[in-house]
Structure formats: structure tokens, C-alpha cells
Amino acid sequence: MIGLELLLLIFLVFCAIATVLCKRLVSAIIIFMAYSAVMSLIWFLLQSPDLAITEAAVGAGMTSLLFFLTLQRINQLKGLEQDEDNTKQ
């Protein structure tokens, strides 16, 4: 169990650094989502299932969704039809 916890913690640090160093905004958000998911697992291992549920719902779900929507709104989500249309005009 300790080994699993250590693995998760290392992954957490890795995710945190990768989020900052990542150049593409979309990948940064996805890494941030992974960070939240792992964080919720760690909350569960620390015997606080309430926090785990909240972290999974708010951290991995809502926050990154709002980030994605912001990116879409400022046209930074690449590869969308809408984006290409805007460029052609």
C-alpha cells in the first residue's frame, strides 16, 4: 500500500511539473485533469472519501471543463471546424 501511495505521489509531482512546462494549452489542461484524478485517489487512500468524491467531481470534472470552454471561447482549441472557418474569413 505504501508503494502504491509513493507511486501516486511521484506521479502527482510529475503531473504538476508537466502542467507548467507543457507548451500546448490543451495538453496542459488534460495533464491537470490527470493530476486531479490521482489526487482524488490519494484522498481516498488517506481515508477521506468525501474529499475524494468532491475532488473528482470539481477538480477533474468542472474545473477542466470550464478551462476547455474558455479555450474554445478564445479560439485556442485547435482542429475544430469552427476554428478553421474563423481563419478563412
Residues in contact with another protein by CB under 8 A are 18, 21-23, 46, 49-50, 52-54, 57-58, 61-62, 65-66, 69-70, 72-73, 76, 78, 87
- State in angstroms the smallest separation of the CB of 49 from another protein: 4
**Which contacts of 48-56 are long-range, i.e. CB under 8 A and separated by 24 or more positions?**
none
Of residues 7 and 62, the one with the C-beta less far from another protein: 62
**What type of residue sits at position 71?**
L
- State in angstroms the smallest separation of the CB of 69 from another protein: 4
Distance CA 71, CA 48 (A): 33
For 44, the grid coordinates are 481516498
